[in-house]
Amino acid sequence: MSRYPVLMPRFDRDGSPGTVREWLVADGQVVAAGAGVVVVEGPKAVLELETWSAGRVERCLAAGESAAPQTVLAWITPGPEEVQ
């Protein structure tokens, strides 16, 4: 079964890192496709990131941690109850 990443976005051309500001879901929580899962902050923007797939959230970084663009913040793993 595949799992899908939630990635830190690229905020600028320089590839400045972003910071996980707040998790909107608990680790291990099942979410629907399109649900907001994490708020990240860059040099000039604060964004709420959504998941493209329903499934169980597996966090990779804690609130307050910084990461480069394209770093995996969380994995979304579909389970039998989420697959249609």
Structure confidence by residue, pLDDT tens digits, 29-63: 999 999 999 999 999 999 999 998 999 999 999 99
Q: Which of 21, 32, 23 is nearest to 56 (CA)?
A: 32
Structure confidence by residue, pLDDT tens digits, 60-81: 999 999 999 999 999 999 976 5
> d(Cα 80, Cα 17) in Å, to the nearest integer?
35
Q: For the chain, what are the domain ranges?
A: 4-77
Q: How many CA atoms lie within 13 Å of 4's alpha carbon, on the beta-carbon side? A: 13
Please check whether the domain covering 4-77 is classified as CATH 2.40.50.100. yes
Q: What is the pTM of this model?
A: 0.89
> d(Cα 35, Cα 49) in Å, to the nearest integer?
8
Is residue 51 within 8 Å of residue 6, measured between CB atoms?
A: yes
